[in-house]
Amino acid sequence: MADRCIEVSLVKRGITCTAQLLDDRAPLTCAAVWDALPLGGEVYHAKYARNEIYALFPPFATTEPPLENPTVTPIPGDLCYFAFAGAELGTKAYGYDREVRPGTTLVDLALFYERNNLLLNGDVGWVPGTVWGRVTEGLDAMAEACNDLWRTGAAGETLSFRRRP
C-alpha cells in the first residue's frame, strides 16, 4: 500500500500540516479514519494531557477499532484516536458546552504538538490512545497556532482532517 497522507487544519487560523497514516502500525484505525474523511469539528485544547488539541465526533467506524500502537506518552506530531463512553466525559470539569450523556460514545481525534505529554486523567487514570498518524510537514507552524489557541481561546475554531489532494 502506498503511503497515505492527510491534511490537519485549524481552519479559522489558516494553518495546515501534513500527516502520514501509520497503516503498518494501526491498520484498523487508519482504515476507519480514512474511510470517514473529511471530518471537522469544534477544537478543544487539552486540560490534562498538556500539549494536545482535539475534536470530538460521533462514532464513524462500522466496528470500533481496537487499541493499536498504544501510547500514554505521545510525542510531538502524533495523531491519536480515543473512544470514550459519554459517562467518561460527562462531568463539568471538561468544559464541553454540549450534553455528553451516558450511553453515548464519542471519538476523539487528537494532535500532539509539543513534548512532555502524559495521558493520565484525574477522573479515570491512564488513558491509552492509538497512534495512527505522524505529522511530517508543518508541525512548527501548527505548534505555534496551538499555543495561540491555548492563550487566546478556541472559540469559533475548527479542527479538520481531510485526505491530502
Neighbouring residues of 112: CB distance < 8 A, sequence distance ≥ 6: 49, 51, 52, 74, 75, 76, 77, 78, 79, 80
Contact 15, 141 (CB under 8 A): yes
CA distances from 163 to 40, 46, 107 (A): 12, 25, 18
Nearest Cα to Cα of residue 109 among 87, 85, 129, 81: 81
Secondary structure percentages of the chain, helix, strand, coil, to 5: 20, 40, 45
pLDDT for 1:
59
b or e along 68-78 (b: 16 or more beta carbons within 10 Å of the residue's beta carbon)? Answer: bbebeebebbb
pLDDT truncated to tens, each residue of the chain (165 aa)?
579 999 999 999 999 999 999 999 999 999 999 999 999 999 999 988 899 999 999 999 999 999 999 999 999 999 999 998 766 665 555 555 455 666 678 899 999 999 999 999 877 789 999 999 999 999 999 999 999 999 999 999 999 999 998
- pTM equals 0.92
Helix (H, G, I), strand (E, B) or coil at 123: coil
φ/ψ of residue 141, rounded to 5: -65, -40
> Which cell goes with 27?
491498520
pLDDT for 105:
81
